[in-house]
Amino acid sequence: MVQTPRSVQETIRLSMALAAALAASCPAAAAEGTGQARVIWDPLARPVAEADTLFLPDLGTPETIEASGGFLHGHHNEGLAKLRPLFEFGKGRFGPAVRVKARDVGHYWVFFPLDGLVGDDEFTVQFRAKSDRPWSAEGGASFFRLNSRENVISCDVQKDELTLSVRSPRAKGAWSAGLDALDLEAGHWHAFALTLKDETLAVIVDGKQRGTVRGMRFATPWSDSAAGTEGILLGGGPWRSSNVWLSDVRISHTARTPGKPVTLRSLHSTLTIDTARPARPLPPPYVGALHPGQKEWPPSEHPGATPEQIRRALHVVRTDKFLQATPMKRGAPDETHPSRSRSGRFSYDWQVVDLTLDWFATHGVRPYISIDATPSLMGGRVKPFAGEKLRTALSRSSGFAPDRPKDLDAWAELVEDFVHHVLREHKTAVPWWGVWNEPDQPGFWDGTVADYLALYEATVRAVRKVDPNAMVGGPESGLDGPYIKALIDHCAAKKLPLDFVSYHDYSGDLNTPALARAKVDRLTKAAGLTTPMPIVLGEFNWSAGNLYKRGWPRFHRDFWHIRAFGAAYTTAFLTRLAELPGFELLIWSHTHYGNPRAGGWAATQLIGPGGEQWAPYNALAGWKSVLGDRLLHVEGTHAPGVFALASRNSRTGRVGIVLANYGFAQRTARDVELCLTHVAPGAWRMRRWSVDPAHSSRWDAAQDRPAGAAHDGLEQVAESELTACEAKPLVVRLSLPAWSSQFIALEKW
């Protein structure tokens, strides 16, 4: 339920007098509110937090590094107890310093996720470095590195030279200078800085510009890589660690020139929303989750999610393994297989299918059905349900048979009978049919790519034989690998239906939607298919490599996926999807998964075993409740880590706004100013809900203890009456806590 605790009943006071005082244009109001600072940069001075500072970590201890969003990284997946002796901490030029203690070793460094800390158009990165031995002894080692999927900036020592290697999506570049020419001395702290402006990366050493690398247009890195190679790497690189001390690291949002005045780019976000200018439809079935009911059978004493909980947050639920769980045989019906196939060659007991479909009807969501998992009759290794399990369990409780069907003609007949039963006999509408699950993973598919394409062809023909208008797609694989291209090419060559491309995203990278859109567009265009082809995210969550207990040691000691952090990532990801054409659906993994303390996938769930609503659930409920059916144009300046989406309900006129403040190493509240133009004159009611570490996140508040129940629902943090005047914008100023998702509804009073 939506909660409105009395302790957070703040009121945003926007009176007629204030509205009249605001300038008619939002940029003027924004300029008055932000107060941009102007400084003269001295790269030799102590770095301090300024108006554009994105990153200023404390390198004093492993604990302060973790509090700043970083970790000690090791080659062999070691935990902190083993890593601590391999690093040394001491006094830097100004603040504390750190270095890899062991010499001439590889794969050890201090790691921070980049997640938006370095912009694509302008930035300044500065740090101090000291080698206790001659710098030439560090030959072959990286001592400072920025690394993402699309970008690399690497500071290395190669023999008697300092080198800078740079890669961006558009170009590669390099710079080098002799160690003697740079006057790099053993035992002395040296100041290094890199600034980007107008696609030119300037190299500054000890306060002097020493060179440039031109033509570098970077992609904004948004990866929280579990492997520890995509991020800020202090003291080492993937091949060899240095013995260099690092201190006084600062990343700024503004490019600076030594000794020159510069106006700092504010981290204050000013966003203009034109309420009268809808952009395009927002697909209403945009949010779903993976699997109904509980995974365990027999079910635990906890009932799991109620129908009201499911309806509040979700439009769709995806599930599978129907055929594998269904008892079937060749020949005429009998007592245990009472339903005859359309051809008369097979007989079935559809109880598990009917139970699962009834769950969808009871819980008020639409099914997204993946046709997968080979039944034992076709050579699958998992037996169908029997006895009490057949009468009470849902299909998700089955294991998964990755075996190739022995007879594709017979498989197609089974699929046809299944689809006919679902659509014609049970009369359940299915908006999406997917073919298989993760054929790129050995545990889900024993065949080759060619085998999958043959399976897809047999399956899609069988589905379309029952329903010529059915929406069918695949391959439900990862974004990389051969399956997406192979399926697109095969369907184009054989003129097979391919209504959507589905992939799974556990990357922890907010850039993947744009990469997926570009890849599918490129492939479909080359194959002569419709562009943009719809895309479905058949499974989604933050990085799969960062699971509690089973992920990389840097992350696996916490429940990131079900905290406010995971909710903020989800909300930011959804805003990115909505900005791109053709994304129809996102399936969050998972609806339920037992006790999160079991670790692994159990720590990725919306609803706990006792019906607890974790932070991502509340974020999805907020998303569903405030967004309308038409997107609105949002323009202005976004601080790194701030994401925004606005919509309007075409029937009621309600304006819905979604905001997120996300970033693993960005742990600072961000000020946001919303300027709403063309708002109809009169009284409006504005309500705001928040998911952040202090609201709507019971794990942040009390983990799974009963004390967290006060934060179980989506908590309302503000309600106010606003008065809109003719030709005047409504301006609302608010602060987004770190790791927050906020949902705003503006309705005519």
181 and 152 fall within a common domain: yes
Whole-angstrom CA distances from 495 to 373, 454, 487, 492, 526 are: 25, 13, 11, 5, 14
Beta-carbon contacts of 366 under 8 Å, excluding residues fewer than 6 positions away, are 285, 315, 316, 317, 360, 429, 430, 431
Q: Among residues 229, 263, 297, which one ends one of the domains? A: 263
Structure confidence by residue, pLDDT tens digits, 213-265: 999 988 888 877 666 678 899 998 877 889 999 999 999 999 999 999 999 99
3-state secondary structure 178-239: ECCCCCCCCCCCEEEEEEEECCEEEEEECCEEEEEEECCCCCCCCECCCCCCCEEEECECCC
Q: What is the C-alpha to C-alpha distance for residues 271 and 671, in angstroms, rounded to an integer? A: 11
Q: Among residues 622, 647, 674, which one ends one of the domains? A: 622
45 and 26 fall within a common domain: no
380 and 456 fall within a common domain: yes
130 and 28 fall within a common domain: no
- Give a yes or no: residue 112 inside a domain: yes
Residues in the chain, pLDDT under 70: 1-35, 76-77, 102-106, 225-228, 295-296, 299-303
Q: How many residues does the chain have?
A: 749
Which pLDDT value is given to residue 35?
55
420 and 363 fall within a common domain: yes
- Give a yes or no: residue 577 inside a domain: yes
- Give a yes or no: residue 101 inside a domain: yes
End-to-end CA distance of the chain: 23
311 and 257 fall within a common domain: no
Q: With residue 129 as reference, give the H or E element that holds it.
A: strand 123-130
Q: What is the C-alpha to C-alpha distance for residues 668 and 68, in angstroms, rounded to an integer? A: 11
When the pLDDT of each residue in the chain is averaged and rounded to a whole number, the result is: 91
708 and 588 fall within a common domain: no
- Give a yes or no: residue 541 inside a domain: yes
Q: What is the C-alpha to C-alpha distance for residues 419 and 426, in angstroms, rounded to an integer? A: 10
Q: Among residues 232, 263, 294, which one ends one of the domains? A: 263
Q: With residue 414 as reference, give the H or E element that holds it.
A: helix 408-420
Q: Give the CATH number of the domain where residue 658 resides.
A: 2.60.40.1500
- Give a yes or no: residue 627 inside a domain: no
Token representation of residue 465: 């034989």
570 and 595 fall within a common domain: yes
- Give a yes or no: residue 642 inside a domain: yes
95 and 215 fall within a common domain: yes
Chain CA centroid to CA 89, Å: 34
- Give a yes or no: residue 1 inside a domain: no
Q: Give the CATH number of the domain where residue 67 resides.
A: 2.60.120.200
Q: Give the CATH number of the domain where residue 439 resides.
A: 3.20.20.80
322 and 272 fall within a common domain: no
pTM over 0.85: yes
Which pLDDT value is given to residue 299?
67
Which pLDDT value is given to residue 105?
66
Q: What is the C-alpha to C-alpha distance for residues 397 and 292, in angstroms, rounded to an integer? A: 10
397 and 418 fall within a common domain: yes
How many structural domains compose the chain? 3
Instruction: Residue 720: give the domain boundaries.
Output: 6-35+267-279+633-748
Amino acid at 687: R
- Give a yes or no: residue 628 inside a domain: no
218 and 296 fall within a common domain: no
